[in-house]
Chains A and B, each alone.
Chain A
Amino acid sequence: MNRMLYRAFQYTLLVSGAVIMLLPLWWMFVVSLETPERAGAAVGGTGGIALWPESPQWLNYPQALREMGSVQWQGFLNALANSIVITTLVVIGTVLSSSLVGFAFARIRFRGSRTLFIIMLGTMMLPGQVTLIPLFILFRNLGWIDSLLPLIVPAFFGNAFFIFMYRQFIAQIPESLIEAAKVDGYTLVEVWWKIILPLCKPVTAICAVFTFIYVWNDFMGPLVYLHSDEQATLAVALNSFRNQYGGLEDVHLLMAASLVTMVPCIALFVAAQRQFIEGLTRGAVKG
């Protein structure tokens, strides 16, 4: 009996926590389906908040996407394409470079590797804003400003946090697997590609999901390096949209556009959830 009560208490606590966390998202969704008047009243505080709109306005969504950017539909589609290109390449670059460097730190003995590793960890303490101006000057001198390159290329040089994660994970893979592959005739790079990467799936899932969410939602980077409308990402396009339709009378469109930009992140998390949770808990359960 006590056990059941304890269970009931646990579930109540968890469900209330989940409801509190999801409430703003639900509210966004509801407002995005309201008529302009009711949405404005709800956001402005003059109207109540309904759990479900009286007459859901599903056409708010195509309207919001059509209005994004200066040319109808074009602005949204451009931004979507840019976001997809940048995010995909950055995810690939981060996974490949971080796992390769993590493998080297974990398994290749070379003079100074420890010092290099500590220096690499030290870079995690540096806020991104500190290097923003030097990096901007560097990319300007390379002629990369207003192209996607400054957002993509650095990802192929590793990410300190993910290198650390890969290194810790790879250090737990038995050395004999690597030695067996060496005896089988594989080079170290082949060992990394054919053995280490497939075995690092849980870390790769975390690395990919975190990087995806960060890059997809990144506003600062694209704002600094991309100037023209054609190069804008969804985050930048959404901000322009907010400037254009930020009034209370258009808040339903803003909510609809915001929700659409969030969908890929949520979908990815749901798809990769199992691997993701496994990767996060693995280190905690077994050292």
Chain B
Amino acid sequence: MATVQLRAVSKSYGSGAAAVKSVDLAVADGEFVVLVGPSGCGKSTTLRMIAGLEDLTDGTISIGERVVNDVAPKDRDIAMVFQNYALYPHLNVRQNLSFGLERRRAFKSRWRGIFDSSYRTHCRAEHAAIVTRVESAACTLGIEQLLHRQPRELSGGQRQRVAVGRALVRDPAVFLFDEPLSNLDALLRGEMRTELRILHRALRATMIYVTHDQEEAMSLADRIVVMKDGIVQQIASPAEIYERPANRFVAGFIGTPPMNMIDGTLTSAADGTLTFRAACCAFTLPGDRWNLTGLSGSGARAVTLGIRPERLALTSDQSTNAATLTGKVVATERYGACADVVFVVDGIRLISRAPQEQTVRIREGDTTTMSIDLHAAQLFDSTTGCAIARRAELG
């Protein structure tokens, strides 16, 4: 196993378009890091640069102690699982699994084996070792009964397992996954996600995983790297990314449904009280929570208040309260255990996620009141989009 370190890694193409801009990332030994972002954000390019399938324009990549910028993919001690599995169609599962190991054999000349008995002994021992490794990997992934099959005879999930198995037999220092589950249906994706997580726990291997599915990222990662337009937006644990997104993009990208955003202004009174005013509402915020350096006593600052849908609770309390919003329900989406209630307050569309039992009486067209948990609210600078840091985080 090994650490992976990216220092100021950039990639631009001949046309001058930059795919990746100065990425810094340190992956610890045995860590599961997920790169996530929308299409074209540079996550796959970053992974391919780690694999050695793309050259770097700038920066350095180290695997373990070694800088690997100019090292061929085969010498980087990595294994990669591709989006379309990349199983060799003309080889059966056993041959697919042993393909990489066969290349690394020291004693593989059949002709020499005919004349040299000690060579033949080594050759047989090596072959037996490969068979053992292939069968052990197949056993780990539950595909031992598929070893004689051709890839075209396998289902999507089985192909995926073989693709992972091909990486597994190599016992590499680093596993790289390029959107490996995106070709599977939702149910199978969920199953494979759990299996990958279990596999990571068992191997304690360094894994770098690329996906555009934020749910996959949240469920698999020890740490998530959110990227946009080739730039890293935030690197943090899933909980931190969810609770304290670094900017509006991360807040909107991570979480389903996305975070509710209300544009408004923030004013600070002499006694430190903060007031948030928007077209639809006005709240007094706990003033000691945010670091508002530069905000004058009377000046108003354009900010966006972000609140996760589950922090918008349905309430029967109709009394005027600074932290409630009253709006008209335009849609309800029920998922069994919970439901999303979409309502509009003065032209602003907001979503509340609540347990199913709280929403059974709510009908489209009803007027409902929601209470906001302001302690869980996020504030973003409207101009830069960056999160306004909380005091507790500064310490």
A residues whose Cβ falls under 8 Å from a Cβ of B: 174, 176-177, 179-186, 190, 195, 198-199
Contacts and interface: CB of A to CB of B under 8 A. Distances in A.
Contact of A185 (B74, B83, B88, B89): B74
Interface string B62-101: 0000000000111000111011101011100000000110
Contacts of A180: 80, 82, 86, 88, 166
Contacts of B72: 182
Interface of B: 51-53, 72-74, 78-80, 82-84, 86, 88-90, 99-100, 103-104, 166, 170
Contacts of B88: 177, 180-181, 195
> A176, A179, A180, A185 — which one has the most chain B CB atoms within 10 A of its CB?
A180
Contact of B90 (A174, A179, A182, A199): A199
10 contacts: A174-B84, A174-B86, A177-B86, A179-B53, A179-B80, A179-B82, A180-B80, A183-B73, A186-B74, A199-B90
Contacts of B53: 179, 182-183
Given A184-B74, A185-B74, A179 B103 contact: no
Nearest to B101: A184
A63 B29 CA distance: 82
A184 B169 CA distance: 11
**A176, A177, A183, A198 pick with most chain B CB within 10 angstroms:** A183
Contacts of A190: 103
A186 B52 CA distance: 14
Nearest to B99: A184
A174 B85 CA distance: 10
Q: Which residue among A174, A182, A185 has the maximum number of chain B CB atoms within 10 Å of its CB?
A: A185
B86 A185 contact: no
B73 A176 contact: no
A176 B170 CA distance: 18
A183 B51 contact: yes
A252 to B, nearest CB: 49
A182 B83 CA distance: 16
A177 B89 CA distance: 9
Contacts of B166: 180
A130 B22 CA distance: 58
Contacts of B79: 183
Contacts of A195: 88, 90
Contact of B86 (A176, A198, A199): A176
Contacts of B83: 176
A71 to B, nearest CB: 41
A182 B74 contact: yes
A177 B86 CA distance: 5
A187 to B, nearest CB: 9
The 8 closest A-B pairs by CB, nearest first: A184-B100, A185-B74, A180-B86, A176-B86, A185-B103, A176-B82, A198-B90, A183-B73
A183 B48 CA distance: 11
Contacts of A179: 51, 53, 73, 80, 82, 86
Contacts of B80: 179-180, 183
A183 B167 CA distance: 10
Contacts of B104: 185
B243 to A, nearest CB: 37
Contacts of A177: 86, 88
Nearest to A198: B90
Contacts of A198: 90
Given A177-B88, A195-B90, 12 more contacts: A176-B82, A177-B86, A179-B53, A179-B82, A180-B86, A181-B88, A181-B99, A182-B72, A183-B78, A185-B100, A195-B88, A199-B89
A184 B86 contact: no
Contacts of B82: 176, 179-180
B355 to A, nearest CB: 44
A235 B338 CA distance: 82
